[in-house]
Amino acid sequence: MTDLEGLCVQVARRFASQGLTLATAESLTGGMIASALAGVSGVSRVLKGGVVSYAPEVKRDVLGVAQQVIDTVGVVSAPCARQMALGARKALGADVAVSATGIAGPDGGTAQTPVGTVFIGACGPGGERVEECHFSGDRLSIRRQSACRALEMALEVAQA
């Protein structure tokens, strides 16, 4: 069992035992978080759904990310990750929501925002948080590390 699979089992069990639901808002992970969770038997009691929001207009129109955030600090930012998580929680009616936005590479990085820069947001009964992460490895590795950290943060904000 990989770290991602283990975290999915942990999230599914803990959320089910607490009667909590989860939603995802994913950009660079492209649905990996929701897909990995779907591999756990019985997760339908927990997983409400997810939004894959690669395009800025989906972040804006579906998740409620402010156009000002997109135009000023950009979609790879803490404010964007925060608004994505809050938007997914509201749109999908979940108790907890997580988001991931960043640059998985190998292209797209800059000196200011290199490949592996990821912002992960989470909101739930235990509050809101956003983390700036710097992961290394190839594209798949960065995406998997992002998914794992998002699930860890889901567990953290699930506790009131």
Query: Which residue is it, tokens 């998985």?
Result: 104
pLDDT at 95 over 80: yes
* Rounded average pLDDT over 110-114: 94
pLDDT at 97 over 70: yes
Predicted confidence band of residue 154 (pLDDT cuts 50, 70, 90): very high
Please state at what angle helix 139-157 crosses helix 3-18, rounded to 10 degrees: 20
Mean pLDDT rounded to a whole number for the chain: 97
pLDDT of 132-153, one tens digit each? 999 999 999 999 999 999 999 9
Look at the chain and count its residues. Answer: 160
Rounded mean pLDDT, 45-58? 98
Rounded to two decimals, the pTM is: 0.97
Rounded-to-integer distance, Cα 17 and Cα 15, Å: 5
- The DSSP element (H or E) to which 25 belongs, if any, is strand 22-26
pLDDT in tens, 1-15: 579 999 999 999 999
Closest among 3, 55, 6 to 26, alpha carbons compared: 55
Give the pairing of strands 22-26 and 47-52: parallel
Q: Residue 36 in contact with residue 5, Cβ under 8 Å? A: yes
Going by C-alpha positions, the residue among 136, 138, 41, 51 that lies closest to residue 87 is: 51
Q: What is the mean pLDDT of residues 104-113?
A: 94
Give the per-residue pLDDT at 1.
Answer: 54
C-alpha to C-alpha distance for 154 and 122, rounded to whole angstroms: 6
